[in-house]
């Protein structure tokens, strides 16, 4: 339920509503806005008797949220959530953000080559799994912590931000330390204790749709993250199980993008790689995703896909990825959006450069590392 305050309601009036919600045995979530302040009420199972709140001074109206998910819904928050990332990159605004890289981090050479290639083509975020959820225990399980460190090194060298998966509660802290976005994979979409932990993390979360999850289930999983206090959530459509796995690995639910945009204020990106499982289908489905309004795409790219330790069949060659970028730029423009540019390169300099470093207020005290534009 939402208590909407009158324009110009005083801080005391807002406080009185917050206290009354507490007295009624629920929790209050005040949401100050430019136009109006609203106070969300959470912790209720069914309909709340709102008459006590409606009568308080400064209250304009009471909105009952009809969906099973609350804070995630458009009823709760009408305007789009924009997830802000370091360096001014943002997911959920005008720009379409491209996250690309190999399925798994395999070696320093491989992740650096991947990072350079995807940056060269214009991706803004590097993907790569260090902790891999594999169907078989006998296949490559990821490099773990070493993989996270390699991703951080690739970020240092290329300026790309990093998204990588946390597979369990213990892994969240390590991913939070090394990455810019914590990925929760499809298999863990309903791992509620993992969601609660990620909801307490200080970094944004990329939540992938479960293998056979409905959109309502996806949004309820996102609600766990918001309920714990993490509002920086990006959803991801990555295909769901169909009956025809001979043709594509999953069924890419492109309509989920438009449906989620209607039901929720959270941004949604698409993963045409896991959705199709086939390299030659990735570009057309990336085009479809951007045309449908996806706020970004997550694409697997490998310098040598035939040698990949996981998901080689769906990984693009770097030149195919460059072609994908060219094509989606045109599509984004046609719907009045723009593909986000990678952040400026961050280079390690041997000595502070006169005239370049000197004007910086911190005068290179941050370790002789300057931003060169």
The separation between CA 309 and the C-alpha centre of its own chain, rounded to angstroms, equals 25
Q: Which of 238, 261, 265, 337 binds ligand PEP (CB under 6 A)?
A: 238
Q: Which of 58, 101, 122, 129 binds ligand PEP (CB under 6 A)?
A: 129
* Site residue total, ligand PEP (CB under 6 A): 10
Q: Is 210 in the site for ligand PEP (CB under 6 A)?
A: no
Q: Which two tokens stand for residue 282?
A: 């990735």
d(CA 128, CA 116): 13
| Burial of residue 124 (number of CB atoms within 10 Å: 0-12, 13-18, 19+) | buried
The separation between CA 12 and the C-alpha centre of its own chain, rounded to angstroms, equals 36
Q: Which of residues 97-116 bind ligand PEP (CB under 6 A)?
A: 103
Residue 274 beta carbon to Mn ion: minimum distance, rounded to whole angstroms: 6
Q: Is 182 in the site for Mn ion (CB under 5 A)?
A: no
- Compare residues 103 and 184 and give the one whose CB is closer to Mn ion: 103
Query: Taking a C-beta distance cutoff of 8 angstroms, is the pair 370, 364 a contact?
Result: yes
Positions of E strands within the chain: 2-5, 27-31, 38-42, 59-63, 83-84, 90-91, 95-101, 125-127, 161-165, 181-184, 205-208, 233-237, 268-270, 296-300, 338-339, 346-348, 369-371
- Compare residues 98 and 219 and give the one whose CB is closer to Mn ion: 98
Q: Is 106 in the site for Mn ion (CB under 5 A)?
A: no
How many beta carbons lie within 10 A of that of residue 371, not counting itself? 14
Site string for ligand PEP, 42-81 (x = CB under 6 A): ----------------------------------------
Q: Which two tokens stand for residue 247?
A: 């043709």
Q: Which of residues 277-306 bind Mn ion (CB under 5 A)?
A: none
Residue 237 beta carbon to Mn ion: minimum distance, rounded to whole angstroms: 15
- Compare residues 72 and 282 and give the one whose CB is closer to Mn ion: 282
Q: Is 271 in the site for Mn ion (CB under 5 A)?
A: no
Q: Which residues make up the interface to ligand PEP (CB under 6 A)?
A: 103, 129, 133, 185-187, 208, 238, 271, 274
């Amino acid at each position: 339920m939402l208590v909407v305050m009158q324009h110009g309601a005083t801080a005391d009036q807002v406080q009185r509503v917050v206290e009354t919600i507490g007295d009624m045995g629920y929790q209050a979530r005040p949401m100050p806005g430019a136009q109006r302040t609203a106070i969300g009420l959470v912790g209720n199972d069914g309909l709340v008797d709102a008459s006590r709140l409606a009568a308080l001074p400064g209250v304009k109206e009471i909105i009952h949220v009809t969906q099973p998910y609350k804070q995630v819904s458009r009823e709760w928050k009408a305007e789009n959530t924009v997830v802000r990332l370091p360096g001014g990159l943002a997911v959920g605004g005008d720009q379409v953000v491209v996250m690309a890289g190999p399925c798994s981090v395999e070696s320093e050479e491989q992740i650096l080559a991947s990072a350079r290639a995807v940056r060269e083509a214009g991706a803004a975020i590097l993907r790569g799994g260090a902790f891999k959820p594999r169907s078989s225990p006998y296949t490559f399980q990821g490099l773990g912590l070493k993989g996270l460190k390699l991703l951080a090194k690739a970020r240092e060298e290329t300026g790309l931000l990093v998204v990588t998966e946390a597979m369990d509660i213990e892994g969240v802290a390590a991913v939070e330390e090394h990455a810019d976005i914590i990925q929760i994979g499809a298999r863990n979409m309903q791992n509620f204790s993992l969601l609660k932990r990620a909801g307490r993390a200080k970094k944004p979360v990329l939540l992938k749709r479960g293998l056979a999850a409905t959109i309502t289930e996806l949004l309820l999983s996102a609600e766990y993250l918001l309920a714990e206090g993490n509002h920086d959530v990006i959803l991801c459509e990555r295909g769901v199980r169909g009956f025809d796995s001979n043709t594509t690995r999953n069924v890419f639910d492109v309509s989920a993008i438009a449906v989620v945009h209607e039901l929720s204020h959270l941004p949604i990106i698409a993963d045409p790689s896991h959705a199709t499982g086939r390299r030659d289908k990735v570009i057309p489905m990336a085009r479809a995703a951007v045309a449908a309004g996806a706020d970004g795409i997550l694409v697997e790219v490998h310098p040598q896909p035939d040698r990949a330790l996981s998901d080689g069949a769906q990984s693009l060659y770097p030149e195919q990825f460059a072609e994908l970028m060219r094509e989606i730029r045109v599509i984004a423009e046609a719907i009045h959006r723009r593909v986000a540019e990678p952040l400026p390169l961050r280079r390690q300099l041997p000595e502070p450069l006169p005239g370049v470093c000197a004007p910086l207020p911190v005068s290179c005290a941050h370790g002789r590392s300057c931003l060169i534009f």
